[in-house]
Amino acid sequence: MSESVHMKAYRACLLYFLPDAEPNQAAVFEDDGLLVVGPNEQGLQVVQAVGSYQALQARFAQVPVTHWPGRIIAPGFVDMHSHYPQTNVIGSPADGLLPWLEHYTFPEEKRFADPEYCAKAASFFIAELLRNGVTTALTFATSQPCSVTALFEQAQAQRLRLITGLCLMDRHAPADLLNQKMPHASVDATEQSLLDSEALIQRWHGVDRLGYAITPRFAPTSSDAQLRGAGELAAQYPDVWIQSHVAENQAEIAWARALFPASRSYLATYADFGLLRERAIYAHCIYLNAEDRTLMSASGAAAAVCPTSNLFLGSGFFDYAAADEAGFAYGLGNDVGGGTSFSPFHTMLAAYTVGREGQSKTGLSLSPQHLWWQHTAGAAQALGLEGVVGNLQPGCEADFVVLNPQATPLLARRKALANSLDELLFALIVLGDDRVVEHCHIATS
pLDDT tens-place string over residues 354-367: 999 999 999 999 99
For every residue of 299-354, DSSP letters joined together read HT-EEEE-HHHHHHTT-----HHHHHHHT-EEEE---TTTSS-S-HHHHHHHHHHH
DSSP 3-state of 28: strand
Looking at residue 1, what is its pLDDT?
36
Q: Any residues with CB less than 8 A from the CB of 426 and at least 6 apart, and which? A: 368
Taking CA atoms, 193 is separated from 162, 256, 438, in Å, by 21, 21, 41
Same structural domain for residues 43 and 90? no
Residue 202's pLDDT is 98
Q: Kindly state whether residues 209 and 119 are assigned to the same domain.
A: yes
> Is 304 found in the same domain as 429?
no
Beta carbons within 8 Å of 203's beta carbon, 6+ residues apart = none
Q: Which tens digits make up the pLDDT trace of 377-436?
A: 999 999 999 999 999 999 999 999 999 999 999 999 999 999 999 999 999 999 999 999
Helical H runs in 59-188?
97-100, 106-109, 115-131, 145-158
**Structural domain of 249:** 77-382
CATH of the domain at 57: 2.30.40.10
Residues 299, 392: Cα–Cα separation, whole Å: 28
Nearby residues of 263 by Cβ (< 8 Å), 6 or more positions away: 257, 269, 271, 272
What is the predicted pLDDT for the residue at 404?
98
Residue 389 near residue 337 (C-beta atoms within 8 A): no
CATH of the domain at 190: 3.20.20.140
Q: How many CB atoms lie within 10 A of CB 311?
A: 17
Last residue of a domain, one of 342, 363, 382: 382
- Tell me, yes or no, whether 172 and 44 share the same domain: no
Domain endpoint, select from 382, 404, 419: 382
Q: What is the pLDDT of residues 3-61, one digit of tens each?
A: 566 899 999 999 999 998 999 999 999 999 999 999 999 999 999 999 999 999 999 99
Do 239 and 348 lie in one domain? The reply is yes
Element at 47 (helix H, strand E): strand 45-52
Q: How far apart are CA 258 and CA 389, in angstroms?
A: 40
Are residue 418 and residue 360 in the same domain, yes or no? Answer: no
Q: Are residues 397 and 354 in the same domain?
A: no
Cα angle value 161/351/331 (rounded, 5°): 35
Distance CA 403, CA 431 (A): 13
Q: How would you classify the pairing of strands 65-75 and 400-403?
A: antiparallel
Contact 191, 229 (CB under 8 A): yes
Total structural domains in the chain? 2
Which amino acid belongs to residue 333?
G
Instruction: Say if residue 67 is in the same domain as residue 93.
Output: no
Residue 61 has a pLDDT of 96
Q: Residues 265, 285: contact at Cβ < 8 Å?
A: no
Final residue in a domain of this structure, among 342, 365, 382: 382
The predicted pLDDT at position 3 comes to: 58
Asked if 429 and 352 touch (Cβ cutoff 8 Å), the reply is yes
Give the integer Cα–Cα distance in Å for 74 and 80: 18
Q: Alpha-carbon distance 398 to 388, whole Å?
A: 9
Closest CA to 336 of 312, 302, 319, 353: 312
- Do 47 and 178 lie in one domain? The reply is no
- 279 torsion bin: left (phi>0), alpha (psi -120 to 50), beta (else): left
For residue 87, give the nearest of 269, 338, 436 by alpha carbon.
Answer: 338
54/95 same-domain check: no
Question: 64, 4 in Cβ contact below 8 A?
Answer: no
Q: Are residues 349 and 289 in the same domain?
A: yes
Question: Which stretches of the chain score pLDDT less than 50?
Answer: 1
Q: Do 398 and 350 share a structural domain?
A: no
pTM value is 0.97
- Are 80 and 138 in contact, with CB atoms under 8 Å apart? yes
